[in-house]
Amino acid sequence: MQWYFIAALLTILTSSQGILTTLSQSNGGYSYDYATVPFLAEIFKLVVSTFFLWRECNSSSPPRMTTEWRTVRLFPIPSVIYLIHNNVQFSTLTYVDPSTYQIMGNLKIVTTGILFRLFMRRRLSTLQWMAIVLLAVGTTTSQVKGCGEASCDSLFSAPMQGYMLGLLSACLSALAGVYTEYLMKKNNDSLYWQNVQLYTFGSIFNMARLLLDDFRVGFENGPWWQRLLSGYTITTWIVVLNLGSTGLLVSWLMKYADNIVKVYSTSMAMLLTMVLSIFLFNFKPSVQLFLGIIICVISLHMYFAPVHMLVDLPVTSKRPTDTLKEVTVQQAGE
């Protein structure tokens, strides 16, 4: 299966996630506990991965599965990083407004490229670095509102702690992605066996988060397992399945492509969501949105196109080979 097909499918599913989440609201709010959605999505990914692993085990060529503790113990680390990242997100939002945080979030595009180069030892050309920076500029441009609006002024009026936490959030997000790719490519284990390990720990950490939220509010709404499916509708279940399917596609890209492909997919998904919102939610498009789309498309072409499509290389003509004269050496007799 070609990686660009998976990347395109990931773009579509990621862009539909925000739209489906909005459609799942009733009277401007959620009738269900939104914190249960990631937990159920992890369970869905775990069930699907277990099923495909079972099929592989029953096939003529059993999959490779490393069960040594020194390898298995590495798989909870992405969940720990994401847990820290979520807490940093909340801390950042105490210093900056949501629109500023969204714009600062584009720093993870550049930090992913830097960590990708350092940890995965993958050399990027100058054109590819320029493309990554352009992608960050394009996504930021599409999110910036008119400079006469209050949100534009607030972008530069946040305290320094907010910018430092925003940078830390971008680094943690990039670190989690790059480390996950490192795990997936560390050996030739079955993708589904690696997924089972990732999603088992992911389910445990999401369950721990639900329990921690209950302790914070003193079990005001009862334990999380009693309200797990409360208020769920068909749209809500579609949100869960969509989120779970997105995670499965990301793991495939981590195994057979790389983090940069995932970054481009999610960035293009954000732009696609904005375009679809024009027709679904009467979202008013701006000049910045169209400029951002153009910049991102140029970035996409710069990163993935072959060099001969980007640079006019001089045509080299073969020089005629010189005629070789045959020289006969006669050995003198004694």
Each residue's pLDDT tens digit, 62-118: 899 999 999 999 999 999 999 899 889 888 888 887 778 888 889 999 999 999 999
Contact 267, 68 (CB under 8 A): no
- The overall average pLDDT reported for the chain is 87
Q: What is the pLDDT of residues 147-162, one digit of tens each?
A: 555 555 555 677 888 8
* 282: alpha, beta or left? (left if phi > 0; alpha if psi -120 to 50): left
Q: Which pLDDT band, with edges at 50, 70 and 90, does 333 fall under? A: low
Residue 317 has pLDDT above 60, yes or no: no
Residue 97's pLDDT is what?
78
Q: Report which of residues 303 and 60 the model is more confident about.
A: 303
Residue 7 has pLDDT above 70, yes or no: yes
Chain mean position to CA 53? 24
Residue 307's pLDDT is what?
77
Q: Which pLDDT band, with edges at 50, 70 and 90, does 191 fall under? A: very high
Share of residues in the chain with pLDDT > 90 (%): 58
Residue 320 has pLDDT above 70, yes or no: no
Residue 314's pLDDT is what?
65
Residue 258's pLDDT is what?
94
Residue 96's pLDDT is what?
84
Q: What is the pLDDT of residues 243-292, one digit of tens each?
A: 999 999 999 999 999 999 999 999 999 899 888 888 888 888 889 999 99
CA distance 205 to 30: 23
CA angle 30/31/32 to nearest 5° reads 90
**What DSSP string describes 123-156?**
---HHHHHHHHHHHHHHHHHH---TTSHHHHHTT
Q: Report which of residues 30 and 42 the model is more confident about.
A: 42
Within 8 A by CB and 6+ apart from 297, the residues are none
Residue 26's pLDDT is what?
84
Q: Report which of residues 126 and 317 the model is more confident about.
A: 126
CA distance 301 to 157: 35
